[in-house]
Every structure is written in C-alpha cells, then in structure tokens.
Amino acid sequence: MGRKENCVCVFVKNPVLGNVKTRIEKEVGAEKALKIYKKLLKVTLNNLINDDWDTIIYLSDTVNDLKEYDFPKKIQAKGDLGLKITCAFTDLLQEYRKVIIVGSDCPTISEYDYRKAFSELADNQLVIGPSTDGGYYLIGLNKNAPFLFKDIEWSTEKVLDQTLQKATQKGISFAQLTTKTDVDHYGDWIEYLEESVQI
C-alpha cells in the first residue's frame, strides 16, 4: 500500500495556565494569555477541517487535551524545536507524500494558503511561509531533510534566513508563500481582531 497524499501537522502547546503565549502573558496576565491562545487554536484548527488532507495535532505534553477537536493526536518529541520538527517530518513522510507543519500563532493562514503550499510541493522539495519576525509560520517537505533544522538560532530573526541558506547550500528547490504576521504580542492580537472586523 502506497503513501497517502497530504498531511498538515499542527504543533501546539497544551492549553495550560502559565504555559502558553508567555510574551503576551507578560503584557496582560496569564488568564488573558490563555484565552487568546485558545481562540488562536480554535481559528487554526477550524480552518483545517478539509477532506483534501489529513490533520494531525502534535501536543507538547499530553494527548488528553483538545478532545473537542476530532483530529488524531500525538506527542511532540523531546528536545529543541529543530528536533521536534525533524522527528515529526521523519514520522509523517513515511505515511504521506507531502507534509506541512504549522503552529497556532498565525490565524490568517487560509485554505488557499494550504492548497498553495501543497501545490508548490509538486515541484519543490521545500515550501516555506515567511513571518514578519524573521521566522516562518509554515514549512513543508515532500522528502525528509533533517539538516534544515540543525544549528538554527530558534526564536530569533535569523530562523528563515538560516533555513533557506541551508536549503541553497544543499541544492534543495524551494518556494515561498506570502509573508504573514504571527500573534506573538498583545498588539498583534488587537491588530488581527481589527483586521478581522474589516473583512
């Protein structure tokens, strides 16, 4: 039996008070940060209900949360973000031809963006969605490439550049999606709400 076609893997932290959106927590407190996080999760996961791909949630600590979402759930590998991503791709690319990983920080990722990403993976090994902070909100592969996630300065403005530099050095073909903004600060959240009202 061959591999299935498309999978979206969502990396999330378990929604526990004091465990999520720590930068927002410093600005508005833990309870409000948790509420914002849950709303971001809801938007992200509702946008992934689609028959054209499988969605799998990778939680940070336990699979006992988010029972209201009818997606398969797994636990992220232990280690830094690079190792977590590497293990998820290694696992999922054995079962799927194209795998995309996202977090829940970018509520403006649309169905079009996911379709565009999968489309780009027909001609490129790597697809990446740049974020305005120098990182990325989406990354996808059709063939495993663990070196992309080694020796990256995670949570800095260098993440995107370092990743694409590694891809270029290894001759990996890649495509970039539209740049978007992650909700990392309370101001980002307010801006997102204001833009959502205007749409």
Spatial distance between the Cα atoms of 59 and 66, rounded to a whole number of angstroms = 9
Chain segment 33-65, per-residue pLDDT in tens:
999 999 999 999 999 999 999 999 999 999 999
What pLDDT, on the 0 to 100 scale, is given for residue 100? 98
pLDDT at 197: 72
Nearest to residue 98, comparing CAs of 62, 143, 165? 143
Q: What is the pTM of this model?
A: 0.95
Predicted pLDDT of residue 114: 97
Domains of the chain in sequence order: 4-198 (3.90.550.10)
- Helix, strand, coil % (nearest 5) of the chain? 35, 20, 40
3-state class (DSSP) for residue 183:
coil
Task: Enumerate residue ranges in the chain where pLDDT < 70.
Answer: 1, 198-199
Nearest residue to 141 (alpha-carbon basis) of 127, 130, 131, 129: 127
CB of 146 closer than 8 Å to CB of 86: yes
Alpha helices, DSSP H, located in the chain: 22-28, 30-46, 81-92, 111-120, 159-169, 186-198
Q: What local confidence, expressed as pLDDT, does residue 73 receive? A: 97
| Bridge partner residues of 10 (DSSP) | 57, 102
What distance in Å separates the CA atoms of residue 167 and residue 147, rounded to the nearest whole number?
A: 9
